[in-house]
Amino acid sequence: MQALNILSLDLHQSIKCYKYDLSQSFMGVLQSFNMVLIRSLEASAREMAEMETKFKFEIKDMKSQKAILDKREAEINQKQNMIKSLLKGKDFEIQQLKVTEQQQTQQIEHLNKML
């Protein structure tokens, strides 16, 4: 019986050691998994930071291009307004020339009648 008790204690001790070894191995696996996860998250964070920097530069560039386009648009609008004013002036000149032509035509007709 005592031999059975000794065997039982030895078995219990062996199982205890096995459980301890198993728990140590499991902790190692968890630590490895955690390290892989942490490295993956760090890489992802770096990629996100790089993308953010890239997008900031793209936004800055687009704002710069927009400012240039806005300036060009203002210049074009100014030229367009100037051309409209010139056209109005020319239209007025044409109207004045037509009136003058009509008056001169009437004078010529009147002079032709007198002759």
3-state secondary structure the chain: CHHHHHHHHHHHHHHHHHHHHHHHHHHHHHHHHHHHHHHHHHHHHHHHHHHHHHHHHHHHHHHHHHHHHHHHHHHHHHHHHHHHHHHHHHHHHHHHHHHHHHHHHHHHHHHHHHC
In a domain, 54, yes or no: yes
Report pLDDT digits (tens) over 73-110: 999 999 999 999 999 999 999 999 999 999 999 999 99
pLDDT for res 4? 67
In a domain, 64, yes or no: yes
pLDDT for res 5? 73
Domain count, the chain: 1
Report pLDDT digits (tens) over 19-61: 888 889 999 999 999 999 999 999 999 999 999 999 999 999 9
Q: Which range of residues forms the domain containing residue 38?
A: 1-85
In a domain, 113, yes or no: no
In a domain, 57, yes or no: yes
Against a cut of 0.75, is the pTM above it? no
